[in-house]
């Protein structure tokens, strides 16, 4: 018996690496056939695609050095773009309005100047926060629409603590300047973002992965904290002296013997997004023009599209390029959240701006390709590879009950001796370096709630 870690994503790999260095005997169990979790990747005919978009901008010197010792990193200045009603606008759109019509710029600026003023502690929800920051016109036509596509809920359903520095708020001078001329300044929250030169994003963990005992195809179906036993779908089991889990909270509450009903219910009521990745490879080198871009049009499925080959040329065969589009929808753990089956409803948009999760994957793939072609990005005959894959857990949704529900679950896990780590183990909006650091904290046995 020894330390058992469930999940070989970035938090699980970090925990295993640091515990092994400290002398603990560790075994990592992974439900998939490869390591990396959402930091993993897959390759089709020489085209490599990550599981959703990833960069690192770790501020911590220790973590930066770990990543740098693992793989050579390419530095990118983040200049993302936005697609809005057929127009390309630099990001952030709120102070890069120059390409818009005079009428629309006037509406945005007028509402920005006359936006309501309210102390932060009196703002009730994310929708109200957006109106206070940007005014009604911009809020309703840009972040409101993106919220429906990325988070799968109305802005009023979200609380605001998660926002932090993720949303840029310009002053009037910046809004006016960006209305008359293209701004070359980077306004992104990180001025430099890094990506591995070779091997895809998970290569930042190469140093930590070396020598770890990872057992693959080990899907957990039951945990008995009293007997300290984990049981797997293949009929095997393992005993443990210490159990560290990066499993999503709505999943682990379904596995624990004797869990109180109110704890299970709290876990199942935690909301999250699921997502599809549409991955496209092209037989010409110059399809991708933007490192990544956001799409506000609600009749176009993807919320965000990025280019693996612009992140690193190692991600495509010579003379080729690639794009990967992300399509999200909201669900809660209380609902069975599986990829829809072929032959289901063909409607892609179920209500204003919301993706219909019952749309079959082949329809999503087809409609996404059609939309991107209509945007002028490429031609059908230039596609060399096309693929669609599903991820049940993409992002945590910060609904108004999130803190209450996750505290109930994390308090219970602490009580029965299960240490929960990572984005879905802590139910946080962690960037990759934060998830890595959360795995490192098991050294101090810091079980943060």
* pLDDT at res. 219: 98
- Pair (112, 164) in one structural domain: yes
More confident residue, 165 or 246: 246
**Boundary-marking domain end, from 115, 148, 180:** 180
Are residues 297 and 361 both part of a single domain? yes
- Would you give the end-to-end CA distance of the chain in angstroms? 27
Q: In terms of residues, how long is the chain?
A: 449
Q: Is residue 188 part of a domain?
A: no
215, 245: one domain: yes
Query: Residue 192: inside a domain, yes or no?
Result: no
Whole domain around residue 89: which residue ranges?
Answer: 81-180
142-199 pLDDT, tens digit each: 999 999 999 999 999 999 988 876 778 889 999 999 999 988 888 877 889 999 999 9
Judged against a pLDDT cut of 50, whether residue 339 lies above it is answered with no
355 is a domain residue: yes
Taking 50 as the threshold, does the pLDDT of residue 112 lie above it? yes
Give residue-wise pLDDT tens across range 56-103. Answer: 999 999 999 999 999 999 999 988 999 999 999 999 999 999 999 999
Statement to judge: residues 229 and 165 lie in one domain: no
- Cβ pair 358, 322 in contact under 8 A: no
Note whether residue 63 is domain-resident: no
Same structural domain, 236 and 156:
no
Q: Cβ(392)–Cβ(219) under 8 Å?
A: no
Give the angle 388-325-315 at the CA atoms, nearest 5°: 85
What percentage of the chain has pLDDT greater than the value 90?
A: 86
pLDDT grade, residue 360 (50/70/90)? very high
Does 149 fall in a domain?
yes
Give 381-410 as a 3 state SS string. Answer: HHEEEEEEEEEEEEEECCECCHHHHHHHHH
Last residue in a domain, options 148, 180, 212: 180
List the single range of 113-122, 268-277, 375-384 with lowest mean pLDDT.
113-122
This prediction's pTM: 0.92
Contact 266, 405 (CB under 8 A): yes
* pLDDT one-digit tens code per residue, 397-418: 999 999 999 999 999 999 999 9
Mean pLDDT calculated for residue range 427-441: 96
Residue 121 lies in a domain: yes
State residue 354's pLDDT score: 81
249 and 351 part of one domain? no
Number of domains in the chain: 3
In a domain, 426, yes or no: yes
Closest CA to 162 of 172, 174, 147, 175: 147
Residue 266 clears pLDDT 60, i.e. is over it:
yes
pLDDT of residue 337: 43
**417 & 405 share domain:** yes
3-state SS string over the chain? CCEEEECCCHHHHHHHHHHHHCCCCEEEECCCCCCCHHHCEEEECCEEEECCCCCECCCCHHHHHHHHHHCCEEEECCCCEEEECCEEEECCHHHCCCCCCHHHHHHHHHHHHCCCCCCHHHCCCHHHHHHHHHCHHHHHHCHHHHHHHHCCCCHHHECCCCCCCCCCCCCHHHHHHHHHCCCCCCCCCCCCEEEECCCCHHHHHHHHHCCCCEECCCCEEEEECCCCEEEECCCCEEECCEEEECCCHHHHCCCECCCCHHHHHHHHCCEEEEEEEEEEEECCCCCCCCCEEEECCCCCCCCEEECHHHHCHHHCCCCCEEEEEEEEEEEECCCCCCCCCCCCCCCCEEECCEECCCCCHHHHHHHHHHHHHHCCCCCHHHEEEEEEEEEEEEEECCECCHHHHHHHHHHHHHHCCEEECCHHHHCCCCCHHHHHHHHHHHHHCCCCC
Task: Return the CATH number at 213.
Answer: 3.50.50.60
pLDDT in tens, 294-336: 999 999 999 999 999 999 999 999 999 999 999 999 985 444 4
Whether 446 shows a pLDDT value over 50: the answer reads no
| CA pair distance 332, 268, nearest whole angstrom | 7
**Which of the residue ranges 32-36, 73-77, 335-339 would you say has the lowest mean pLDDT?**
335-339
Q: Please indicate, yes or no, whether residues 308 and 421 belong to a single structural domain of this protein.
A: no
> Of 198-207, 357-366, 385-394, which range is least confident?
357-366
Same domain, 153 and 43: no
Q: Pick the residue with more confidence: 337 or 186? A: 186
CATH number, residue 371 = 3.90.660.10
Residue 69 lies in a domain: no
| Mean pLDDT, rounded, for 250-262 | 97
Residue 169 pLDDT: 85
Which of 124-128, 129-133, 346-350, 399-403 has the least mean pLDDT? 346-350
pLDDT band at 349 (very low <50, low <70, confident <90, very high): low
Examine the domain organization and report whether 156 and 42 are in the same domain: no
Q: Name the average pLDDT for the chain.
A: 92
**Pair 292, 246 in one domain:** no
Q: Are residues 276 and 384 in the same domain?
A: yes
pLDDT value at 238 more than 70: yes
């Amino acid at each position: 018996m020894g330390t058992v870690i469930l999940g070989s994503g970035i938090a699980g790999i970090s925990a295993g690496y640091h515990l092994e260095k400290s002398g603990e005997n560790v075994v990592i169990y992974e439900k998939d056939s490869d390591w990396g979790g959402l930091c993993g990747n897959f390759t089709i005919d020489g085209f490599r695609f990550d599981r959703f978009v990833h960069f690192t901008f770790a501020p911590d010197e220790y973590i930066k050095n770990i990543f740098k010792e693992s793989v050579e990193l390419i530095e990118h200045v983040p200049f993302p773009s936005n697609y809005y009603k057929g127009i390309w606008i630099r990001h952030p759109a709120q102070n890069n309005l120059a390409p818009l019509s005079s009428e629309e710029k006037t509406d945005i600026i007028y509402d920005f100047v006359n936006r309501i003023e309210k102390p932060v502690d009196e703002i009730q929800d994310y929708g109200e926060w957006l109106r206070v920051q940007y005014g009604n016109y911009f809020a309703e036509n840009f972040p409101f629409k993106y919220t429906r596509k990325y988070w799968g809920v109305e802005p009023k359903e979200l609380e605001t603590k998660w926002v932090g520095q993720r949303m840029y708020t310009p002053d009037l001078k910046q809004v006016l300047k960006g209305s008359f001329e293209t701004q070359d300044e980077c306004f992104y929250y990180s001025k430099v973002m890094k990506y591995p030169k070779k091997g895809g994003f998970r290569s930042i963990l190469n140093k930590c992965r070396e020598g770890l005992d990872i057992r693959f195809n080990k899907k957990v179906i039951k945990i008995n904290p009293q007997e300290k036993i984990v049981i797997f779908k293949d009929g095997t089991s393992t005993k443990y002296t210490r159990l560290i889990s990066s499993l999503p909270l709505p999943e682990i509450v379904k596995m624990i013997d004797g869990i109180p009903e109110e704890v299970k219910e709290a876990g199942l009521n935690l909301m999250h997004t699921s997502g599809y990745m549409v991955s496209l490879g092209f037989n010409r080198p110059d399809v991708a023009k933007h490192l990544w871009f956001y799409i506000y049009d609600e009749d176009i499925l993807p919320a965000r599209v990025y280019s693996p080959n612009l992140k690193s040329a190692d991600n495509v065969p010579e003379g080729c390029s690639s794009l990967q589009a992300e399509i999200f929808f909201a669900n809660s753990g209380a609902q069975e959240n599986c990829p829809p089956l072929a032959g289901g409803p063909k409607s892609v948009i179920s209500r204003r701006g919301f993706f219909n999760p019952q749309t079959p994957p082949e329809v999503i793939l087809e409609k996404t390709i059609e939309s991107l072609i209509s945007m002028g990005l490429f031609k059908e005959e230039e596609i060399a590879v096309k693929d669609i894959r599903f991820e049940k857990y993409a992002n945590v949704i910060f609904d108004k009950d999130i803190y209450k529900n996750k505290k109930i679950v994390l308090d219970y896990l602490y009580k029965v001796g299960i240490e929960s780590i990572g984005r879905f183990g802590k139910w946080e909006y962690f960037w990759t370096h934060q998830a890595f650091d959360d795995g490192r904290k098991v050294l101090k046995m810091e079980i943060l709630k």
